[in-house]
Copies of this chain bind each other. A is one copy, B any other.
Amino acid sequence: MVTLKDIAAKAGVSMMTVSRALNGNQNKVSPETAEKIHLLAEEMGYVPNSSARSLAARSSRIIAVIMRDTDEGNPLMDPYTSSFLGNVVQILQKHGYYIMVHFIRDFSDITFGLRSWNAQGAVFLGLFDDEIQKIRQDNRIPLVFTDSYSNVRQVSNVGIDDYKGGVLAAEVFLSHGHTRVAFCGPLSGKSGVIEERLNGYADTLKQNGVLLSQDQIYNISLFSAETILEKLLQSPGAPTGLFVSSDHIAWQFYKAARRLKVTIPDDLSIIGFDDIALGQSLVPGLTTIRQDMRLKAERTCDILLRHLDAPKSPSESQILDVELIERESVKTLS
């Protein structure tokens, strides 16, 4: 392994001169020696040792991407998450950072992962609202959360207008003549993206004289899509429209509908959320609320990079817009 020392020996200068030349402090090294050193480094196949650099300079250039590791499945199996991660890696790498991926189970994993490699910043994917305060106290480095509804002040967060998404979904149903409607998502009892989507939906319905009754709010964490679909259709005054909190869940209902010989949208209209590739492939085409993943990743990295350069700058949050994509999964009732 080639070290600064080796190059210094061959070049007949001190290690410090080599270090300075290679780190682009050109103004502090004479052009001739700088060139000689660069040539030598290239020739000898020098690769700087990041551990040593991290230790000496207290600067690792490592960004941790932190995701919850649930028992229900691999975090990256979710197309939403993997596409976001892919974009984040691509952008941060372009800026000279290294990305370490951590699937974490509890709070202590976070601090450990961050400290142990002296991470300079972190991006959080998934729900961390309960621990945000502790995470921030323990780790005084730039942190950017996504989709957080924590009421802790001074955290950077990139999210979308979930409430508006719910409003848009309600408006579609209303304008298409639906008056008996339902909702389904992984309700947790805490506030979060799902609950906000539900709120926007319920509020808008209510303002237009349509009641979303409590028993037409289904929790997909508790029952399968098939079970919910049966229950829904058998309930008195069965709903004609169902808004679900993700395209992935909509997909599960499409599959359940096929098995139960339920026709979409004739027997039941469905609206999804996200607009991922999966949803685009469904038949009939899924009407959904679109969010822009690439933009979300870009904004997340923007904020992180800015804080990396200026650690003292105030926290920033951005709420991105959502957009209605109308396809064929909502029937027009006369």
Asked whether A26 is an interface residue with its Cβ less than 8 Å from the other chain, the reply is no
**Residues of chain B lying within 8 A (CB to CB) of residue A48:** 116
Is A82 within 8 A of B86, CB to CB?
A: yes
Q: Mark A104-137, 1 if CB is under 8 A from B, else 0.
A: 0000000110011110000000000000000000
**Nearest B residue (CB) for A258:** B283
Binary per-residue interface labels of chain A (53-85) against chain B in the complex, 1 for a CB within 8 Å, 0 otherwise = 011000010000000010000111101001101
- Please report the C-alpha to C-alpha distance between residue A141 and residue B238 in the assembled complex, in whole angstroms: 62
Chain B residues with CB under 8 Å of A69's CB are: 90
Q: Which residues of A contact B (CB under 8 A)?
A: 1, 45, 47-52, 54-55, 60, 69, 74-77, 79, 82-83, 85-87, 89-90, 93, 98-103, 111-112, 115-118, 251, 254-255, 258, 277-278, 280-283
In whole angstroms, how far apart are the Cα atoms of A150 and B115 in the complex?
40
Q: Contact check: which of B49, B99, B111 meets A55 at CB < 8 Å? A: B49
* Residues in chain B near residue A87, CB distance under 8 A: 74, 76
Q: Is B76 touching A82 in the complex (CB atoms < 8 A)?
A: yes
Q: Find the B residue at minimum CB distance from A280.
A: B255
Residue in B51, B90, B112 whose beta carbon sits within 8 Å of that of A117 in the complex: B51
B45, B83, B103: the one contacting A90 at CB < 8 Å is B103
Nearest residue (CB) in B for A293 is: B77
- Set of chain B residues within 8 Å of A115, measured between Cβ atoms: 1, 47
Instruction: With both chains docked as a complex, state the minimum distance between the C-beta of A99 and any C-beta of chain B, in angstroms.
Output: 5
Q: How far is the CA of A116 from the CA of B326 in the complex (A)?
A: 49
A102 surroundings in chain B (CB, below 8 A): 93
Task: Find out whether the CB atom of A118 lies under 8 angstroms from the CB atom of B51.
Answer: yes
Name the B residues within 8 Å of A75 (CB-CB). Answer: 86
A83-B112 Cα distance, complex, nearest whole Å: 25
Q: Which partner residue on chain B sits nearest A112 by CB separation? A: B47
Assess whether A83 is in contact with B74, with CB atoms less than 8 Å apart.
yes
Give A151 to B80 CA distance when docked, in angstroms.
37
With A89-B101, A93-B103 given, name 10 new contacts (CB 8 A): A45-B111, A47-B115, A51-B51, A55-B55, A76-B89, A98-B117, A99-B100, A99-B101, A277-B278, A282-B283
